[in-house]
Amino acid sequence: MVDVNRLLEEFQSLSVAQEHYPIWTDWGVESVSTSIHSLGLSYLTRLGQEMGYTACQEFPVTASIRADCVWWHRETRQPLAFFEFERFKNGVELEDKTKNLLKAYQHHRRLPQLLGLMVWTEDFFPKHQNYFAHLWHLARSGFQTNDGQQIAGLTQPDFHIFEFQHTEEKSRLKLQCIRERTPQ
């Protein structure tokens, strides 16, 4: 079982991030190409390993979907968590990532216990809750794919949205905090 409380504790303290990724938390990193994305995936993978799971980034969870990070239970070898780490642009990209998480969840017989949409922003000011409301609705109700396949919504509270907020100093972004965005 995924220890969500331990994950939340880390997101409050950022101790693993500070220990292993000071380039992100202390030094600051330029937001060029995929620099923040690379750090985010490395952090999620490291965090999964520190929590005792087998973890990998950029892993194909279906023939057409590659999850940014996957955690597996070492003994059962079952996937426990799928994560997508995405920059907030206009919100459409977050809907696509939520759909990918739901498709992967259904493909794996609804076994994963945690689907994490990890959203990063460049400013310290959190996005308004309205930006996330439609994602919660999508996760709960599911959707129909372009080819007519019905993807069911979630029946348990396994979908979490976390917002990675940054400050900027001298054109470098520093990870300031990670906040869970809960449904209203």
Percentage of the chain surpassing pLDDT 70? 96
* Mean pLDDT of the region 141-161: 90
pLDDT digits (tens, 9 = 90+) for 15-44: 999 999 999 999 999 988 899 999 999 999
Cβ neighbours of residue 114 under 8 Å, at least 6 residues apart? 2, 4, 71, 80, 81, 82, 158, 160
* pLDDT category of residue 57 using cuts at 50, 70 and 90: very high
Decide which of 3.90.320, 3.40.1350, 2.60.120, 1.10.287 is the CATH code for 4-181: 3.40.1350
Q: Where are the domains of the chain?
A: 4-181
Per residue in 59-95, pLDDT (tens digit) is: 999 899 999 999 999 999 999 999 999 998 887 899 9
Contact partners, residue 175, CB within 8 Å, separation at least 6? 14, 17, 21, 24, 25, 39, 164, 165, 166
pLDDT of residue 1: 82
Strand partners, 83: 69, 116
Mean pLDDT of 132-152: 93
Amino acid 183: pLDDT: 83
